[in-house]
A and B are shown apart, each in its own frame.
Chain A
Amino acid sequence: MIKTALAASLLLVLAAPGVSAAAVQDSIVWAPSYEEGLALAKTTNRNMVVDFFTPT
């Protein structure tokens, strides 16, 4: 019964307006490089978030 209720809730959430397919993707899509990311940001008119990191 509880499982059924949870499943129904999940379906409602997924069907809710504003929840796109991209919103339920399971990971961030990373551009292959900074340069390609920048080109994509320009062509799609999106802001870009760049993670400058060093491997641990």
Chain B
Amino acid sequence: MMDTTTFIDSAVVGFAKDFVFAKVNGHVDSLLERNVGISGHPTIILFAPDGVEIDRLLGYYPADTFMLELNNYLAGKNTLADYLKRVAAAPQDAQLHYNLAEKYTARSKYADARPHYSKVMELDPENKLGLNDDAMYYLAFLCRKEKDFLKAIEGFRAMIAAYPASELREDAETYIPWLYGEAGDTTQALKYYKEFLVKFPGSKETEWVKEQIQKIEHPEDKTKTE
């Protein structure tokens, strides 16, 4: 998506002349991706000329925030190193812990991220910052990344129970059946995929969920096409 928006934006094209730009296809160079700890796509990494990472962006960024964040990184602002310093200086700041946890998550450093997501909830028990549902979601997400599927399901369920109105609820409800499938329990997976379609009839994930149901109910169709 950034190819058809951010990377063709005239301001970004002008901005890019001061850098070397390169692309890595995750389907082709998975070894490099593992080496640099890619946790999702797209990930944009800013490297110094000597190849040392300055910092990275995870997810889609429109042109203006793309350039703003890279400029911040070049100025030493909002980087992992910057948040480490800021958290050390203000250890009771839940927002800083959350930002630091995100930095580790983007680097696939889940064990490092976990205590900071937990700290967010500890420091803000009344959820005044509105970050606790996100923190709970990402704690479950980390379990998923570490392939502890049942613990991830437990985490997503706890998040939904605590914050039923969360914007992340629909994503969490999509993960639950998928995680059952990954854990080998297709009966539960099928049950919760079907429940999802009833709970979220207008979801953007509807087609994907229907595909998953089809795969479980008619696994022979997959064999035929392979």
Contact = CB atoms under 8 A, between A and B. Distances in A.
Interface stretch (B20-28, B116-124, B137-145): B20-28
Contact of B13 (A27, A36, A42): A27
Contact of B50 (A29, A37, A42, A53): A42
B169 to A, nearest CB: 25
Contacts, number: 120
A4 interface: no
B25 to A, nearest CB: 6
A29 B51 CA distance: 19
Tell me the interface secondary structure of chain A in the complex.
mixed
A16 interface: no
B37 to A, nearest CB: 10
A38 B42 CA distance: 19
Interface size class of B (residues with CB under 8 A): 35 or more
Contacts of B14: 22-24
Given A30-B23, A34-B24, A52 B51 contact: no
A52 B47 contact: no
Interface in B5-39: 7-8, 12-14, 16-27, 29, 32-33, 36, 38
Interface of A: 20, 22-31, 33-34, 36-38, 40-42, 44-56
Interface of B: 1-2, 7-8, 12-14, 16-27, 29, 32-33, 36, 38, 41-51, 54, 70, 74
Given A28-B12, A48-B21, 17 more contacts: A22-B14, A23-B17, A25-B13, A27-B8, A41-B47, A46-B49, A47-B18, A48-B20, A48-B22, A48-B46, A48-B51, A49-B45, A51-B21, A52-B33, A52-B41, A53-B41, A54-B27
